A and B are shown apart, each in its own frame.
Chain A
Amino acid sequence: MNGSEQAAEQNPQRDLQQDPRQGPQQDPQPAPEAGEPLVALDGVSKYYGNIRALEGVSLEVHAGEVTCVLGDNGAGKSTLIKIISGLHQHDAGTFSIEGDETRLSKPREALDRGIATVYQDLAVVPLMPVWRNFFLGSEPVKGVGPFKRLDVERMRETTRAELLRMGIDLRDVDQPIGTLSGGERQCVAIARAVYFGAKVLVLDEPTAALGVKQSGVVLKYVAAARDAGLGVVLITHNPHHAYLVGDRFILLKRGTMAGSHLKAEIGLDELTRQMAGGSELEELSHELERLGPA
């Protein structure tokens, strides 16, 4: 038995038991939600040379809640995600994980702090079997010294069991993951993050390339992860999907915050209106009207 083996075994239980406790444990902040956010961004900005990719963005991610980040193409959604997942560093503002101000230098560091990111199209290695993908980067090993080898039997069994727990009943964990549907691939990536004890799950447009039914499947797992006590960041440009599972909504527009709402404060129609460009859309419709008869 070695360390990584044990850690991997305990992880699923740990995050299921621990996270709900975090809420009522301490409430130093006057915030109505009580409890410290798992991840908090305050006035975060990012510049690429003379390009302002993100300016003054603030958001909070709480355990057992879904924070949705909505925005059009080029609004800064992917920049935001890259800062949270440790691919890029912010240039201004503060980024704290469980109250500690942080600056992540690489994705591994984010993972070690409990932030797992599932990217839309680069979540998995298509030609590799499902079980190899599931454990990629955190493979359990047995044996000593140069004879340390993958615990293949355990990897296969765990993959099958964990996916079943998330409601994915795979026929064969040996099939290349590229043969699964887009929704299933997303779900495997989410199941993996949950299994490895993520506290915060960042999902980059998980439903963007999916049909209605597949999107529903993915959103169900997003809800399942939330109910398991994880904090979820859901990046999307579909307000309907966001409203189904979201608790907080951050609207981005051209790199700046265009709005920040709790679910209780905003209805789907208003969210859709703001998301669709709000006043800009009205202007456009006027323009089109005028053009019509002329």
Chain B
Amino acid sequence: MTATAPAPAPSPGKTGGKADERLLRTSLLRKLLGRPELGAVVGALAVFVFFSFAADSFLRTASLSTVLYAASTIGIMAVPVALLMIGGEFDLSAGVLVTSSALTSSMVSYQLTANIWVGVLVSLLVTLAIGVFNGFLLTRAQLPSFIITLGTFLMLTGLNLGLTKLISGTVSTKSISDMEGFESARQVFASQITIGDVNFKITILWWLALVAVATWILLRTRAGNWIFAVGGNKDAARAVGVPVMKTKIGLYMGVAFAAWVSGQHLLFSFNEVQSGEGVGNELIYIIAAVIGGCLITGGYGSAIGSAFGAFIFGMTGKGIVYAEWDADWYKFFLGAMLLLATLLNHWVRKRAEATK
């Protein structure tokens, strides 16, 4: 805290930084209750304890690494999707955009017989352009993002399959593992880090970095203030001079960037990409964000919450396997988790707002 507080001339009486005497000292519990991610943290703890008892192998470090990996692949996308939701919009094309991004880098490199990095960079540009397209169409047409991105979702699904078949003759791309630059790209997007005798996937680092950056943007930058504002009350934001259009386009570009990271991970883990993949994942990202405390109508939420949401997904998905149950239960658990988390979030927010 610096001493540069402006302290305007006629500041009567008790301005200083001291807390107001009418404000009873907020208990730590109450402060926690005011956080959007509380529901997800409680949920994650509950799921963790549950599977610790239900599955013997759940608590091993190797299992932890697997769970974290599963969580990270969802979490990387859930972060920008959460930001977008705070900004009041959806992106139904996020799932297939990941596949589009992977297909683009693979096919561009293969068809041009160029260094893999050429394809990777072209893919970044193409993916960002699709993000801009979504955002631009949304702000220009003034239609709900549900409709706009449903359109791009269908178009991309068709393009992924159609173009891949047209270019490669099959529904998957050719293996690119023997091409120049593959090893270095794999280091960046799909390598493993060994700590002790456990391997951790590098996506976990990408995930944590994205959560950190997104949290910083949301809470400590002007852009973050604008994201909350355009989601909370677009017209009020516009009236005080917030660049609503730029903010929304930026959010869609964030989703596109994460889709690019996920897509490259997909490509460099498996060398080839199935062009039909990704359909349905967009809902998983949205659910992770909602479990993480994002208000579906915008204006409220957090990036850290989305990380806990993704973590719940990872634990449930892998926990059911470790408990040796039928995998069909996965969906049931997620549905229940979504309802519980949303109800809890709703209740918490009402209390937090009422008790002030």
Contact = CB atoms under 8 A, between A and B. Distances in A.
A143 to B, nearest CB: 10
A125 B221 contact: no
A67 interface: no
Interface in B189-208: none
Contacts of A141: 221-222
Contacts of B353: 176, 178-179
Contact of B17 (A124, A139, A157, A178): A157
Contacts of B162: none
B225 interface: yes
Contacts of A152: 220
A127 B225 CA distance: 12
Contact of B222 (A139, A158, A169, A175): A139
A122 B239 contact: yes
Contacts of A149: 216, 220-221
A254 to B, nearest CB: 26
B356 A136 contact: no
B241 A108 contact: yes
A136 B20 contact: no
Given A149-B221, A171-B23, A179-B356, A161 B7 contact: yes
B1 A136 contact: no
B300 interface: yes
Interface string B1-36: 110111111111001010010110000000000000
B85 to A, nearest CB: 13
B81 interface: no
B232 A126 contact: yes
Contacts of B22: 171
B76 interface: no
Interface string B290-304: 000001000110000
Contacts of A108: 241
A171 B19 CA distance: 8
> Is chain A's interface secondary structure helix, strand, loop, or mixed overall?
mixed
A107 B229 contact: no
Nearest to A142: B2
Contacts of A138: 240-241
Contacts of B232: 125-128
Contacts of B15: 160-161, 164
Contacts of B20: 169-172
Interface residues of B, number: 41
B241 A164 contact: no
B6 A154 contact: yes
A161 B11 contact: yes
Interface string B38-80: 0000000000000000000000000000000000000000000
Contacts of B279: none
Contacts of A85: 239
B236 interface: yes
Contacts of B165: none
A12 B10 CA distance: 11
A107 B236 contact: no
B315 to A, nearest CB: 30
B126 interface: no
B228 interface: yes
Nearest to B21: A171
A119 interface: yes
Nearest to A112: B241
B10 A153 contact: no
B170 interface: no
A139 B225 contact: yes
Contacts of B1: 153
B180 interface: no
A137 B237 contact: yes
Contacts of A162: 8
Contact of A125 (B6, B9, B222, B228): B228
B356 A137 contact: no
A13 to B, nearest CB: 8
B111 interface: no
A125 B236 contact: yes
A128 B86 CA distance: 12
Contact of A132 (B6, B225, B236, B300): B225
B320 to A, nearest CB: 36
A125 B11 contact: no
A117 interface: yes
B233 interface: yes
A213 interface: no
A158 B2 contact: no
7 contacts: A9-B6, A125-B233, A137-B226, A157-B17, A161-B15, A171-B20, A179-B356
Given A107-B238, A125-B228, A137-B242, 4 more contacts: A87-B239, A125-B229, A137-B237, A161-B15
Pairs of residues from A and B, 6 with the lowest C-beta to C-beta distance, nearest first: A125-B232, A137-B240, A137-B241, A175-B356, A125-B233, A122-B236
Interface of B: 1-2, 4-12, 15, 17, 20, 22-23, 216, 220-222, 224-226, 228-229, 232-233, 235-242, 295, 299-300, 353-354, 356
